[in-house]
Amino acid sequence: MSSRKTAQGNWTAALRARLEDFTWDSLLPTEQPIYVRSVVYSFGALTLGSLVLVVASGIVLAANGPFWWQTPGAGVFVRGLHYWGVQAFFFFMILHLTAQFFMGSWRLGRAGTWVLGVLSFAVSVITAFTGYLSRGDFFSQWNQVQSKDAFNGAGIGGWFNVLNNGQIYGLHIAVLPAVLVVLVTLHLLLVRRHGVVPPYPADHQSDGGEGKR
Ligand code: HEM
């Protein structure tokens, strides 16, 4: 037992040390600096809110199946919620990443948060693409037939087969949303760990332009 206690430098000890960075104050802060009142800091939360709507409506669509969502009534309504949720998600995500870019939000140890954001964006685009292919109408078929040449040309059409509805639908409703939720969760945990990025100082020259305070 004592040899276990003194064992340092293993991955369990490293993970514990990392997890100890998360206190209730950092995970669920009750106060934020005054600059967080700026609307710029709300774009991430609006992106997250849209993602919740997209995932919730997607679960209802998957539970009821394609006949339901193509039949006028509740199915078409929930499909509309899902579709417009995705439009809002991308709208707010582009606002969010543009704002973070001009705020230089990778500063002061936040590079990991930025990289996880970039990965979330990439996975979101692929998820949306597989969604368009899964609608089950002529729109999907046209996109499948047009895009297959691009994937064949890139040499990955044999594995990522856009004409294989089972594969594309499985990616859309299970694999890609799970990956996205994990990435967004890690993104948010890092935001909490570092605290919200401060704005650049008014006089950029005074700190060499790096925004260090
Ligand atoms: C799935 C999409 C995303 C969600 C749900 C999301 C959510 C959030 C939230 C809630 C915050 C904290 C509040 C804020 O500053 O707005 C945040 C911060 C941040 N996001 Fe995102 N984000 C997403 C995508 C992105 C993308 C695409 C980028 C950049 C390429 C990015 C970069 C950042 C950075 C660098 C921060 C830290 C800023 C800070 O510390 O104040 N995020 N994100």
Question: pLDDT tens digits for 155-168?
Answer: 999 999 999 999 99
Q: What gap in Å lies between CA 202 and CA 159, rounded to an integer?
A: 52
pTM for the predicted model, two decimal places: 0.89
Total domain count, the chain: 2
Note the pLDDT of residue 28.
93
Instruction: For residue 164, give the 3-state DSSP assignment.
Output: coil
Last residue of a domain, one of 103, 122, 156: 103
C-alpha 101 to ligand 1 mean position (Å): 10
Ligand 1 atom 9 nearest Cα: 44
Please check whether residues 132 and 114 belong to one and the same domain. yes
Residues 6+ apart with CB under 8 A from 97: 117, 121
Please check whether residues 117 and 183 belong to one and the same domain. yes
Note the pLDDT of residue 83.
98
Q: What gap in Å lies between CA 7 and CA 126, rounded to an integer?
A: 43
Nearest atom of ligand 1 to the alpha carbon of 191:
40
What domain range is 155 assigned to?
108-194
The tokens describing 124, both together, are 């979101």
Answer yes or no: is 7 within a domain: no
Asked if pLDDT for residue 79 goes beyond 80, the answer is yes
Please check whether residues 143 and 119 belong to one and the same domain. yes
Please check whether residues 113 and 186 belong to one and the same domain. yes
Instruction: For residue 1, give the 3-state DSSP assignment.
Output: coil
Please check whether residues 115 and 184 belong to one and the same domain. yes
